Amino acid sequence: MTLHLLIPCKPFAAGKSRLASALGDHERTALCARLLRQTLDCALALVPAAACRVVSADDDAAALAAGLDVAVIGDRGAGLNRALADARAVVRRACADAALLILPIDLPRASAAALRGLIAAPAQVVAAPDRRGLGTNALYLSPVAAGVVDFRFGEGSFAAHRAAAERAGFSFAAYADPDLAFDIDEPDDLAEWRGAAAKEVAAR
């Protein structure tokens, strides 16, 4: 089995729109760039650059990825699930037995250790739920499932991914990890993340 990571990334200027009440446009753009860089560092601690791809239509995201020798697969603007399906096709044409890990950029506490735990879970499809148990913060598809299971990111995606896996006849597991469950979607999430970072700095 060869593990490949797909990292979807909206254009920086359009990302994290729900943080508009807490951050200005330039601050949100900078935050998205920082989150992509952190996510790439995490990914590259898990797989080589050749097995990691950013899925984006953003030139700045592409430049950041290229600086780390990570390839970019373009997003045609038909939605996240379509973009991931297109990216999956690219990967599987090059490596028919690839396993896939979908890793969004807004998981600032994600680590290679947490991701290794996720992909080691005893199931053919594994999803890390968000803190509400509704969204999917990371998704692993084993080689047999990678070309079959539909991507269902969006509202209620955790239950939708479970249903898609079971409908296709694959075993499914939830991987509950507090670091993977934490994402930055709302101003309260941003404040919590910043507060924890400030405490870490003060404790050093």
- Residue-wise pLDDT for 61-113, tens only, equals 999 999 999 999 999 988 999 999 999 999 999 999 999 999 999 999 999 99
pLDDT band of 196, cuts 50, 70, 90: confident
- pTM for the full model? 0.94
For the domain covering 2-203, report its CATH number: 3.90.550.10
Collapsing DSSP states into helix, strand and coil, what is residue 107?
A: coil
As a whole number of angstroms, the distance between CA 41 and CA 57 comes to 20
What b-and-e string marks burial along 167-187, b requiring 16 or more CB atoms within 10 Å of the CB?
Answer: eeebebbbbebebbbbbbeee
Query: What mean pLDDT do residues 17-42 have?
Result: 95
Residue type, 107: L
Q: Residue 122's pLDDT is what?
A: 95
Average pLDDT, the chain: 95
Query: What mean pLDDT do residues 117-145 have?
Result: 97
- Residue-wise pLDDT for 138-168, tens only, equals 999 999 999 999 999 999 999 999 999 999 9
pLDDT band of 204, cuts 50, 70, 90: low
Residue with tokens 């499809």: 125
Q: Residue 201's pLDDT is what?
A: 64
Give yes or no for residue 24 having a pLDDT over 90: yes
Beta bridge partners, 126, equal 140, 173
Q: Residue 141's pLDDT is what?
A: 98
Give yes or no for residue 1 having a pLDDT over 80: no
The dihedral sign for the CA sequence 16, 18, 19, 20: positive
